[in-house]
């Protein structure tokens, strides 16, 4: 496509779930930036990652990766294609991950790629906490 324009990544949001409501509105539930667990390995039941791309034109490959603290081991990865008809369009890409196995505490990384080029990365801290007695 001769008039292809590379889009910008507007945001990445980490949350428990993303839902499309009647009328097209998007609802994000349980936004977070840290995960807490009392023991490891820890299974996190549900994690959604939403990105928004805009100011571009054409078709592009989008990849989202969750990396372990060593920044080499891929814990999860999703790949999709987005299409922006002109620079005024926006595309929101959602990847949903179930039962993620966090083997150790530490800083995990979420990476966003556009056509195999790393656009950004953001930390997701997985923290070990002491078990609290229930009263």
Q: Domain ranges for the chain, please list them.
A: 8-128
Given a cut of 60, is residue 76 above it in pLDDT?
yes
Report pTM.
0.89
Tokens at 3, concatenated: 């008039």
What pLDDT score was predicted for residue 103? 97
Give residue 82's pLDDT band: very low, low, confident or very high (50, 70, 90).
very high
CB 49 within 8 A of CB 8: no
What pLDDT score was predicted for residue 93? 92
CB 47 within 8 A of CB 94: no
What percent of the chain lies above the pLDDT cut of 90?
A: 86
Give residue 102's pLDDT band: very low, low, confident or very high (50, 70, 90).
very high
What pLDDT score was predicted for residue 2? 58
Distances (CA, A) of 43 to 10, 12, 67, 76, 102: 30, 22, 15, 13, 6
Rounded to 5 degrees, φ, ψ at 69 are -55, -25
Tens-place pLDDT, residues 44-73: 999 999 999 999 999 999 999 999 999 999
Tokens at 27, concatenated: 């609802």
For the domain with range 8-128, which CATH number is right: 2.60.40.1930, 1.25.40.10, 3.30.479.30, 3.30.565.10? Answer: 2.60.40.1930
What pLDDT score was predicted for residue 132? 78
Give residue 124's pLDDT band: very low, low, confident or very high (50, 70, 90).
very high
Burial 67-85 (b: 16+ CB within 10 A, else e): bbbeeeeebbeeeeebebe
63 three-state secondary structure: strand
């Amino acid at each position: 496509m001769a008039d292809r324009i590379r889009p910008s990544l507007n945001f990445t949001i980490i949350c428990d779930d993303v839902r499309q409501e009647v009328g097209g509105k998007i609802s994000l539930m349980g936004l977070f930036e840290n995960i807490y667990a009392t023991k490891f390995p820890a299974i996190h039941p549900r994690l959604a990652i939403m990105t928004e791309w805009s100011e571009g034109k054409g078709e592009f490959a989008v990849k989202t990766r969750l990396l372990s603290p060593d920044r080499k081991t891929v814990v999860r990865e999703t790949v999709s294609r987005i299409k922006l008809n002109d620079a005024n369009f926006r595309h929101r890409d959602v990847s949903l991950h179930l039962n993620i196995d966090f083997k150790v505490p530490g800083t995990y990384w979420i990476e966003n790629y556009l056509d195999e080029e790393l656009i950004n990365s953001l930390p997701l801290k997985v923290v070990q906490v002491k078990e609290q007695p229930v009263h």
